[in-house]
Amino acid sequence: MATIAPMWFILVVMAYFFVTHGYEENMSLRTLYSGTPHEAIIGLKAFKASITKRDSIPTAPPSFTPSPSPSPLPLQDLKKPHVYLVTSYGADPTGNSDSTKALVAAITDAVKGPSGGFLMNGIRDLGGAQIDLEGGKYMISQPLQLPVAGVGNFMIHGGTIRASNEFPLDRHLIDLSTTEEIKSYNYEYVTLKDLLLESNFRGGGILVKNSLRINIDNCYITHFTTNGILVQSGHETYIRNSFIGQHITAGGDKDERNFSGTGISLQGNDNAVTDVVIFSAAIGIMVSGQANTISGVHCYNKASAFGGTGIYLKLPGLTQTRIVNSYMDYTNIVVEDPVQLHISSSFFLGDANIVLKSIKGIVNGLNIVDNMFSGSNHWVDIVKLDQSNGKFGQIDQVFVARNVVKGMNLKATSAKMSMNGNGTSWIADFNKVLLFPNLIKHVQYSLSANGTTFPNHALRNVSENRVVIETDVAVTASVFVRVDQGVAS
């Protein structure tokens, strides 16, 4: 065998040259020829089959004419990566021609491709199948929608998708919804990553409906008229490291008064928005689902002075939302009847503030703590009550404190005051600081009298956010008073 091995090697090299001639793909001789001649022939056959038969990673054709769908993958191809290059389906990466059919064909093949078991009950695991946009720019005239429900572990990434002038006005570029009857969730663990979505002022960017564990990561979504991202029902959609704006601007836009639409609408539970910039829209984030988290968000959409809202919590009675480490830039937070809401470690610039809007007059379990407010010396309240629909009457476990304020009016639910003087009556007026009118639930005070007199003293009145303390004789004294509106215990 030692004497004929060189001959085998020469034959393998010649076969390799003729088989691979005309193809862009290359494979090293070491890969083809390793071990015995028999192993080399097996490797050569496998290589020839991989380049003469279309599989899940086809090469790009010379034109952008849609190609026929690839043949189903044999069992041995289950071990190969399933990356679907959209140009091989005829998609035009220049964006000059409509690529809807090509992109849908690639998505269809990926979704109907081989799977490796199940995720949630009824959700087929596609094994990480990828729709690779190859850094191209693609124009579409219809939404990109998965052809079937009940699939997961799937990704679309790496390019730009732009709506044509024929795109529907009420749809989204990427539509994770279905008309099928689904018992649990439509989709699970679908990732949309490294995408620029240009809605061309025709509808929205992304719709996620009744799905589980969806990732929207590093996306730039612009020129929408409805929603940049709309999440309806479902569970645990995570939106992160993304930029969302109806108009491409960096603030101070002359047409800011005309901004419309909503950057992100969360109509489901247990979602998270982290490290996201919303740079133009009428509403930055609309929340109408429970137990959502907003962290590291910078909202400088339409300024509140022009009628815009940074974050609108529209779930009166059971908010269950946490807003932390965020930046409200000339745009405020509006909350309807907050119940279990936490806002902390955030920065409010340009008279941006927090508005508590009464629907049924309920505030329960509200923390607004450790924030910074920087205003324009217009002396706007850092927390404002909107009682146009009725007064807040059910107030409990409310803690507004430890906020740092410049150029605005400090408001809190707890306050303290000290007074020095001579007389029989001391009045501590907390109206300037306390958030709620005519509400003090708890009072602590101390009186330190000078001289040898030991006066009797008592708390005589608590009303209209004023505390009155009296002594039975005139004395020179120092009086310290602490009050709380949020908790009576």
Q: What single string gives the DSSP state of each residue in 383-398?
A: EEEE-TT----EEEEE
Q: Is the pLDDT of residue 44 over 80?
A: no
pLDDT at 118: 87
Structure tokens at 68: 């026929």
Question: How confident is the prediction for the chain on average, in pLDDT?
Answer: 87
Per the rule left: phi > 0, alpha: psi between -120 and 50, beta: everything else, 431 is alpha
d(CA 313, CA 265) in angstroms, rounded, equals 10
pLDDT at 80: 57
Q: What is the dihedral of CA 58, 91, 204, 301, to 10 degrees?
A: 90
More confident residue, 12 or 481: 481
pLDDT at 9: 47
Q: How do residues 375-392 score in pLDDT, each as one tens digit?
A: 999 999 999 999 999 999
Q: How do residues 155-177 score in pLDDT, each as one tens digit?
A: 999 999 999 999 999 999 999 99
Q: Are 129 and 113 in contact (CB under 8 A)?
A: yes
pLDDT at 179: 86
Q: Is the pLDDT of residue 435 over 70?
A: yes
pLDDT at 184: 86
Q: Are 216 and 176 in contact (CB under 8 A)?
A: no
**Computed over its alpha carbons, how large is the radius of gyration of the chain?**
32
d(CA 313, CA 434) in angstroms, rounded, equals 23
- Position 411 confidence tier, pLDDT thresholds 50, 70, 90: very high
Q: Is the pLDDT of residue 14 over 60?
A: no
Q: Is the pLDDT of residue 310 over 80?
A: yes
More confident residue, 199 or 486: 199
Q: Which segment, 110-114, 324-328, 421-425, 446-450, is predicted with the most confidence on average?
A: 324-328
Q: How do residues 196-242 score in pLDDT, each as one tens digit?
A: 999 999 999 999 999 999 999 999 999 999 999 999 999 999 999 99
d(CA 10, CA 125) in angstroms, rounded, equals 44
Q: Name, in order, each residue with C-beta under 8 angstroms of 138's C-beta and a sequence gap of 6 or more.
A: 86, 91, 92, 93, 95, 99, 103, 159, 160, 161, 162
Structure tokens at 171: 């749809």
Q: Are 170 and 203 in contact (CB under 8 A)?
A: yes
Q: Which fold has domain 56-245?
A: Pectate Lyase C-like (2.160.20)
pLDDT at 69: 45
Q: Is the pLDDT of residue 373 over 60?
A: yes
Structure tokens at 33: 């020829």
Residue 377: count other Cβ atoms within 10 Å of its Cβ. 9
Say which amino acid occupies 293.
T
Residue 236: count other Cβ atoms within 10 Å of its Cβ. 17
What average pLDDT does the segment 285-303 reach?
Answer: 97
Specify the range with the lowest mean pLDDT, choosing from 45-49, 98-102, 179-183: 45-49
Query: What is the percent of the chain where pLDDT is above 70?
Result: 83
Q: How do residues 58-114 score in pLDDT, each as one tens digit?
A: 444 444 444 444 444 444 444 556 899 999 999 999 999 999 999 999 999 999 888
Running DSSP on this structure, what letter comes out for residue 304? G
Q: Are 361 and 386 in contact (CB under 8 A)?
A: no
pLDDT at 4: 44
pLDDT at 114: 84
Give 450: exposed, middle or buried? Use CB within 10 Å, 0-12, 13-18, 19+.
Answer: exposed
- Position 130 confidence tier, pLDDT thresholds 50, 70, 90: very high
Task: Indicate if the alpha-carbon torsion angle 353, 377, 298, 402 is positive or negative.
Answer: negative
Say which amino acid occupies 75.
L
- Position 342 confidence tier, pLDDT thresholds 50, 70, 90: very high
Q: Give counts: helices (H), strands (E), the chain.
A: 4, 31
Q: Name, in order, each residue with C-beta under 8 angstroms of 462's C-beta and a sequence gap of 6 or more.
A: 440, 443, 468
Instruction: List residues bridging with 286 in a β-sheet.
Output: 265, 312
Q: What is the dihedral of CA 86, 91, 93, 96, to 10 degrees?
A: -160
pLDDT at 81: 60
Supply the angle between the helices 37-52 and 5-20 in degrees, to the nearest 10: 0
Q: Would you give the distance in Å from CA 121 to the centre of its chain?
A: 26
pLDDT at 412: 97
d(CA 102, CA 117) in angstroms, rounded, equals 28
Domain boundaries, the chain: 5-52, 56-245, 414-484
